[in-house]
Amino acid sequence: MRAEDLDAVIEVELTAQPAPWTRVIFERELDTEHSHIWVAPGTSPDDPAIAGFCVLWLVHDEAHVLNVAVHQDCRRRGLATALLAELLERAVEYELAFVTLEVRESNAAARALYGGMGFEEVGRRPKYYADTGEAAVLLTWFVPE
């Protein structure tokens, strides 16, 4: 992601998340050395310029996924899968040990996506989400040796 993509990324975020990140949060991520934001372009002329994104931190031997979102008009096309597949390929290439993330306990679609890609449930964080008090499910994908 580049700074000029910020408005388009925020548009995706607003359509995708129950508690969307603010512009300030995205700006901070752009200025953080270990933070990476990957964007996926729209795939048809009617799509927004940026249809999805993934925010991750690369720290030591770990990738931590902070946010994955796809614009509501572009869902069910494999964009989230493609972003995550790229991340997992790079995790192998960079010789990372694992990829972690948290997901809302109620987000069945995301949990199914992650499970289908080989993420394993490794724990829970009770009352993790401030907007609802919902638990987060901790998922990890272990890089094959």
Distance CA 75, CA 137 (A): 22
Residue from 86, 94, 95, 102 carrying the catalytic annotation = 102
- E strands along the chain, which residues? 35-41, 50-59, 62-70, 98-104, 120-125, 136-142
Query: Where do we find the tokens 């997901």?
Result: 103
Distance CA 72, CA 63 (A): 26
Q: Does 62 participate in catalysis according to the annotation?
A: no
β-partners of residue 125 are: 136
CB atoms < 10 A from the CB of 59, how many? 11
Residue from 114, 121, 128, 145 carrying the catalytic annotation = 114
Q: Does 129 participate in catalysis according to the annotation?
A: no
Positions marked catalytic: 102, 114
